[in-house]
Amino acid sequence: MPSDPLTPGLAAGRLSAEQIAANFADLHPPLDDHQALVESDRCYFCHDAPCMQACPTTIDIPLFIRQISTGTPEAAARTIFAQNILGGMCARVCPTETLCEEVCVREVAEGKPVEIGRLQRFATDRLMAGNSHPFERAAPTGKHVAVVGAGPAGLACAHRLVMKGHEVTIYDARAKAGGLNEFGIAAYKAPDDFAQKELDWVLGIGGIKVVLGKRLGADLSLEDLQRDHDAVFLGIGLAGVNALAVDGNDREGVQDAVDWIAELRQSADKTDIPVGRRVVVIGGGMTAIDAAVQARLLGADEVTMVYRRDKAAMAASEFEQNLATSKGVRIIYNAAPREITDTGVVFVRTRSEGGKLVETGETFEIAADQVLRAIGQTLSGQPEVLALEGRKIAVDEHGRTSLAGVWAGGDCASGGDDLTVTAVAEGRDAAEDIHAALGA
């Protein structure tokens, strides 16, 4: 998209490598030993802990915090990993402010919860730093399970299955494993290549083979997977992106936010990632927040995030919205895109009437030389033989699909919250049901 002479359009390297490194430093720096002890001492160790009930993986939070307070963080890590093998990443990216910490008794009474997420990171980092694995494989069962998708759901499922003694092959469409954790999360939430370090640590249990560059529906068929394996788990995520049906959607400088974030995550120092002077991000979810904040961190002068509904309806949490504005992102509510022009994006004002979104007719334009679309992702590549619920694969409470011998979990499956921690829980629980079904 052409822009005026003062805003020369997309450009890489607006900031030095040193500036970018500082901008993308850890969002929540790790606790040191003293800080962890002080923070763990704030916990009441509730018997019927609301924080544990709020955790999708039902980690015994009071127990692991008590283990930290008694000077045994490695034991705390084992408590965490027993429920959530990706507890290290979840400690970094979980919206704890709307899960465990929101219901913490300290939060309710004092407005300052125990920092459960940072304590979880303290414990898991300590154990992982020793390069030891807290679990062992059971005796071989002779069963072989195919897992499609090397993201959080697939990894959690695979790890639990090999713990039970099964062999697992993970197939993934990309040239690199990790799924959402590797490609879809803001770089400042998981710096220092943590996603790959955690992946290698998880695979350290053994018994998991990873085959890359294999996409379901193109390189893999469900029929072949069923024939060659004793069970199949689908953790394929949401690979498609909703279309933005407005004029100018194909102009230069317009891109899906998920693709832009993936490119940024794979960049060595991020100085090669083009960013505009004036960036408009369309959407109201976590992807939109991550794209908007990172555009600012890369050196964009103006970043505006525009959402078609009101603030209360945004999928992004209050914490994430505040994070964006603290980085200089402007958020506009109740505005829907009408057209992308040579100079920016034309929006129309909206309002809710009787639960429906209607346009008021009032329009305005925001100048932009880069537009990032973050209006939701969709399921793609799923076999037609599987029943859907809405736009996702229909599953029961055990993760079983409509096809015998096939399970699914994570973002691709119905009933989830599209969170890393939820995907982990669904992959883990499906593995337990697969194990029971195999009768090994």
pLDDT, one tens digit per residue, over 253-271 is 999 999 999 999 999 999 9
Flag whether 91 is in a domain.
yes
The pLDDT score that the predictor gives to residue 384 is 86
415: helix, strand or coil: coil
Buried b (16+ CB within 10 A) or exposed e, 118-148: bbbbbbbbbbbeeeebbeebeeebebbbbbb
- C-alpha–C-alpha distance, residues 23 and 299, integer Å: 10
424: helix, strand or coil: helix
> Both tokens of residue 257?
């936010």
Q: Are residues 168 and 283 in the same domain?
A: no
The pLDDT score that the predictor gives to residue 4 is 41
3-state helix, strand, coil in the chain (%, to 5): 35, 20, 45
- C-alpha–C-alpha distance, residues 92 and 388, integer Å: 32
DSSP state of 29: P
Q: Are residues 235 and 383 in the same domain?
A: yes
The residue-averaged pLDDT of 186-194 equals: 95
Q: Are residues 168 and 101 in the same domain?
A: no
Flag whether 103 is in a domain.
yes
> Both tokens of residue 242?
């909703």
- In which residue are the tokens 């890393």 written? 420
Out of 129, 159, 174, pick the residue that ends a domain: 129
- In which residue are the tokens 């509510």 written? 333
Q: Which tens digit of pLDDT belongs to each residue from 66-111?
A: 999 999 999 999 999 999 999 999 999 999 999 999 999 999 889 9
Orientation angle between helical segments 73-83 and 61-69, nearest 10 degrees: 170
Q: Are residues 338 and 401 in the same domain?
A: no
Model confidence band, residue 131 (pLDDT cutoffs 50, 70, 90): confident
Q: Which tens digit of pLDDT belongs to each residue from 367-380?
A: 999 999 999 888 88
Flag whether 222 is in a domain.
yes
Q: Are residues 43 and 114 in the same domain?
A: yes
DSSP H helices in 42-192: 50-54, 61-69, 73-83, 87-93, 105-110, 116-129, 152-163, 180-183
The pLDDT score that the predictor gives to residue 2 is 41
Counting residues of the chain whose pLDDT is more than 90, the rounded percentage is: 89
C-alpha separations of 155 from 122, 200, 219, 234, 256 in Å: 22, 11, 20, 11, 26
Model confidence band, residue 6 (pLDDT cutoffs 50, 70, 90): very low
> Both tokens of residue 157?
């499922």
Out of 376, 392, 427, pick the residue that ends a domain: 376
> Both tokens of residue 341?
């022009």
Q: What CATH number does the domain containing 94 carry? A: 1.10.1060.10
The pLDDT score that the predictor gives to residue 130 is 87
Q: Are residues 235 and 260 in the same domain?
A: no
Counting residues of the chain whose pLDDT is more than 70, the rounded percentage is: 98
Q: Which of 124, 123, 158 is nearest to 35 (CA)?
A: 123
- C-alpha–C-alpha distance, residues 152 and 89, integer Å: 10
CA-based R_g, the chain, Å: 22
Q: What CATH number does the domain containing 428 carry? A: 3.50.50.60
Flag whether 28 is in a domain.
no
Buried b (16+ CB within 10 A) or exposed e, 214-252: ebbeeebebeebbeebbbbbbbbbbbebeebebebeeee
> Both tokens of residue 16?
């030095």
Instruction: Write out the residue range of the structural domain in which residue 293 sits.
Output: 241-376
Longest CA–CA span in the chain (Å) reads 69
Flag whether 10 is in a domain.
no
Q: Are residues 218 and 266 in the same domain?
A: no
Out of 129, 160, 188, pick the residue that ends a domain: 129
Q: What mean pLDDT is reported for the chain?
A: 94
Total domain count, the chain = 3
- β-strands 406-408, 231-234: how paired? parallel
E strands, 178-287, in order: 208-212, 231-234, 240-241, 254-256, 278-282
Q: Are residues 151 and 44 in the same domain?
A: no
Q: Which residues pair with 344 in a beta bridge?
A: 367
- C-alpha–C-alpha distance, residues 218 and 213, integer Å: 10
Q: Which tens digit of pLDDT belongs to each residue from 378-410?
A: 888 888 899 999 889 999 999 999 999 999 999
Q: Are residues 284 and 370 in the same domain?
A: yes
Q: Which of 298, 370, 303, 291 is nearest to 16 (CA)?
A: 298
5 pLDDT higher than 70: no
Model confidence band, residue 8 (pLDDT cutoffs 50, 70, 90): low
- C-alpha–C-alpha distance, residues 356 and 360, integer Å: 13
The pLDDT score that the predictor gives to residue 3 is 40
Q: Are residues 347 and 246 in the same domain?
A: yes
pTM of whole model > 0.75? yes
Q: Are residues 249 and 346 in the same domain?
A: yes
The pLDDT score that the predictor gives to residue 267 is 96
Q: Which tens digit of pLDDT belongs to each residue from 101-114?
A: 999 999 988 999 99
Flag whether 22 is in a domain.
no
Flag whether 138 is in a domain.
no
Q: Are residues 235 and 245 in the same domain?
A: no
